[in-house]
């Protein structure tokens, strides 16, 4: 096992990795940008080194320089863009460090999304209909022909995508060029590659992810599935396991398919196989994420397995510690992604100081965050501030615990999307597990408030009105009416 590990990431995932490393007795090395100097991961790490660049898009040369200088043996990329970049993982391997993730060659193959989908098709897996090549954004004639062949609506996806960035839904031909330019610009900014490909849109559709672990000795197991159908701006905001949208037959089917796909691509370490499920029951292989995901805590809650610790063991060459029959799934787990953004201002990011930050607690409640009272949300990073994860013996119990946890979570100083989550957790379609009947833009903000909520708002508004408009009444202190000050100044007679 390693003695020193460098975490090439920031925010809540860096905090989460540092805590597991400290549990294992491993020395931790953090990196940070100047805007993140007061972040919690900097305070928790054994060493912290400043970077010239943003931490969520690390350059191999500077990270490797720090690794050499600090004596690190391995580098954990978290779930940053470096986690799935061949041009980051390969130099780490060549310099003799252990990259805590799959081999760089596997990352390279999974980054070629069209080729990945074609290989899965040849192996007998159903995939969404897609273009047979990736396009430069300037090649609009070829893109139009491909879109016409697939039929509208189509989805534009980044060739090196995987985090919802560079994804656009195009419903009509006249929208295509504008969406292509927008998707390409975002893909270039995020992945340094503006090329895109097209898929025939499947709508409505459910998003199901299967967590897998694989060692270098050919052993592969799954740790169940997660339903991440509730998304906003192509980011998964609520995730739960087991997926309420699957039948038992479908559940076992996606488990088996995930293991077969992991073997097909020669995968190692922790990863996630993503599927699209039509309401009619058809299942499509969609993507393979060669990293740990933001939603991994829900899997940890129902299995009791620390996925970061398993990443480290697998990267060190150890064989899997479990067989598939050893894995037990207990109860239900759910995660809400708390972003520093204002739902009433088109989800505008809201950086700033955290004047008050009170975390929820209690049995089976976990919060992964870098925030604390007096902390700061930087303006240059993703607005993800915290993840609230709860466990319950049933889905109903889990939802009830999550409602209570969100009510306990106090964040003052910046707007967040907490109200969105509170609305979704009371939405009838969500309570019934019918994700296809919901849109997140509608679920949290347009629901009619109940009587108790309206009463509380009325009291708050009344108090605020009185404080703002109450004219100050001058008061003479009692001590000035006794005349003592006049007697004190009287000259002796």
Separation CA 437–CA 205 (nearest Å)? 10
Separation CA 48–CA 121 (nearest Å)? 46
Q: For the residues 159-164, what does the mean pLDDT come to?
A: 69
Beta strands in 393-461 (DSSP E): 410-412
Judged against a pLDDT cut of 60, whether residue 115 lies above it is answered with: yes
Separation CA 334–CA 242 (nearest Å)? 9
pLDDT tens-place string over residues 247-265? 999 999 999 999 999 999 9
Dihedral sign of CA atoms 286, 368, 187, 64 in order: negative
Q: For the residues 324-350, what does the mean pLDDT come to?
A: 94
Separation CA 360–CA 350 (nearest Å)? 21
Judged against a pLDDT cut of 90, whether residue 456 lies above it is answered with: no
CA atoms within 13 A on the CB side of 68: 11
Judged against a pLDDT cut of 70, whether residue 486 lies above it is answered with: no
Contact (Cβ atoms closer than 8 angstroms) between residue 408 and residue 336: no
Summary mean pLDDT of the chain: 89
CATH 3.90.1200.10 fits 4-100, yes or no: no
pLDDT of residue 91: 95
User: What radius of gyration, in Å, describes the C-alpha atoms of the chain?
Assistant: 26
Domain ranges across the chain: 4-100, 129-200, 206-443
108 is catalytic: no
Separation CA 213–CA 489 (nearest Å)? 87
Judged against a pLDDT cut of 70, whether residue 193 lies above it is answered with: yes
Contact (Cβ atoms closer than 8 angstroms) between residue 447 and residue 421: no
| Fold match flag (129-200 vs 206-443) | no
Question: Which residues 6+ apart lie within 8 Å of 254 measured at CB?
Answer: 208, 210, 225, 246, 273, 275, 277, 283
- Residue listed under structure tokens 């919690």: 40
Judged against a pLDDT cut of 90, whether residue 272 lies above it is answered with: yes
Check residue 15 and report its DSSP letter: H
CATH class of the 206-443 domain in this structure: alpha beta
pLDDT tens-place string over residues 300-319? 999 999 999 999 999 999 99
pLDDT of residue 34: 87
Taking alpha carbons only, the member of 261, 20, 8, 252 closest to residue 124 is 261
CA angle 236, 240, 241 (to 5 degrees): 135
Tokens of 270: 């922790």
pLDDT of residue 449: 57
pLDDT of residue 493: 62
Judged against a pLDDT cut of 90, whether residue 389 lies above it is answered with: yes
What confidence category does residue 128 fall into, taking pLDDT thresholds of 50, 70 and 90? very high
Contact (Cβ atoms closer than 8 angstroms) between residue 363 and residue 425: no
Cis link prior to 204 (omega < 30° from 0)? yes
pLDDT of residue 5: 98
Q: For the residues 387-403, what does the mean pLDDT come to?
A: 98
Tell how strand 98-99 and strand 74-76 pair up: parallel
What confidence category does residue 441 fall into, taking pLDDT thresholds of 50, 70 and 90? very low
Active-site position among 195, 291, 337, 366: 291
Find the helix or strand (DSSP H, E) in which 43 lies. Answer: helix 40-44
pLDDT of residue 447: 52
CA angle 286, 209, 244 (to 5 degrees): 120
Least reliable range by pLDDT among 214-223, 428-437, 442-451: 442-451
CATH class of the 129-200 domain in this structure: alpha beta
pLDDT of residue 281: 85
Find the helix or strand (DSSP H, E) in which 467 lies. Answer: helix 451-469
Dihedral sign of CA atoms 51, 52, 56, 60 in order: negative
pLDDT tens-place string over residues 194-213? 888 999 988 778 889 999 99
Q: What percent of the chain has pLDDT over 70?
A: 91
């Amino acid at each position: 096992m390693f003695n020193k590990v460098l975490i090439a990431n920031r925010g809540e995932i860096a905090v989460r990795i540092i805590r597991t490393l400290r549990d294992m007795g491993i020395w931790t090395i953090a990196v940070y940008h100047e805007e993140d100097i007061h972040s919690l991961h900097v305070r928790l790490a054994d060493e912290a080194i400043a970077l010239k660049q943003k931490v969520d898009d690390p350059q191999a040369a500077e990270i490797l320089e720090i690794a050499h200088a600090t004596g690190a043996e391995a580098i954990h990329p978290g779930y940053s863009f470096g986690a799935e970049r061949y041009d980051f993982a390969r130099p780490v391997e060549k310099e003799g460090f252990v990259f805590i993730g799959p081999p760089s060659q596997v990352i390279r193959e999974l980054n070629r999304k069209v080729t990945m989908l074609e290989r899965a098709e040849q192996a007998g897996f159903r995939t969404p209909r897609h273009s047979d090549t990736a396009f430069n954004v300037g090649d609009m004639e070829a893109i139009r022909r491909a879109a016409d062949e697939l039929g509208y609506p189509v989805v534009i996806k980044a060739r090196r995508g995987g985090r919802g960035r560079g994804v656009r839904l195009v419903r009509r031909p006249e929208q295509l060029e504008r969406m292509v330019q927008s998707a390409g610009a975002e893909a270039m900014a995020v992945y340094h590659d503006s090329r895109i490909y097209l898929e025939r849109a499947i709508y409505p559709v459910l998003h199901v992810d299967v967590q897998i672990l694989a060692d270098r000795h050919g052993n592969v197991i799954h740790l169940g599935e997660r339903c991440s159908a509730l998304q906003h701006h192509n980011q998964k905001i609520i995730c739960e396991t087991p997926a309420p949208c699957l039948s038992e037959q479908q559940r076992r089917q996606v488990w088996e398919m995930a293991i077969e796909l992991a073997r097909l691509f020669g995968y190692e370490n922790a990863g996630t196989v993503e599927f699209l499920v039509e309401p009619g029951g058809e299942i499509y292989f969609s993507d393979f994420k060669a990293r740990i995901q933001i939603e991994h805590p829900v899997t940890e809650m129902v299995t009791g397995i620390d996925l970061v610790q398993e990443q480290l063991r697998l990267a060190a060459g150890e064989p899997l510690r479990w067989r598939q029959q050893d894995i037990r799934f207990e109860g239900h787990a759910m995660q809400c992604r708390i972003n520093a953004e204002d739902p009433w201002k088109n989800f505008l990011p809201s950086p700033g100081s955290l004047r008050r930050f009170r975390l929820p607690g209690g049995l089976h409640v976990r919060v992964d965050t870098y925030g604390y009272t007096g902390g700061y949300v930087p303006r240059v990073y993703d607005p993800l501030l915290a993840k609230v994860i709860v466990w319950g013996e049933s889905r109903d119990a889990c939802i009830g615990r999550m409602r209570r946890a969100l009510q306990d979570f106090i964040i003052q100083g910046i707007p967040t999307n907490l109200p969105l989550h509170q609305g979704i957790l009371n939405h009838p379609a969500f309570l019934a597990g019918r994700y296809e009947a919901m849109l997140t833009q509608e679920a949290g903000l347009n629901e009619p408030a109940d009587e108790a909520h309206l009463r509380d708002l009325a009291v708050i508004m009344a108090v605020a009105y009185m404080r703002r408009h109450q004219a100050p009444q001058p008061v003479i202190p009692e001590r000035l009416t006794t005349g003592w000050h006049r007697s004190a100044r009287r000259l002796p007679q």
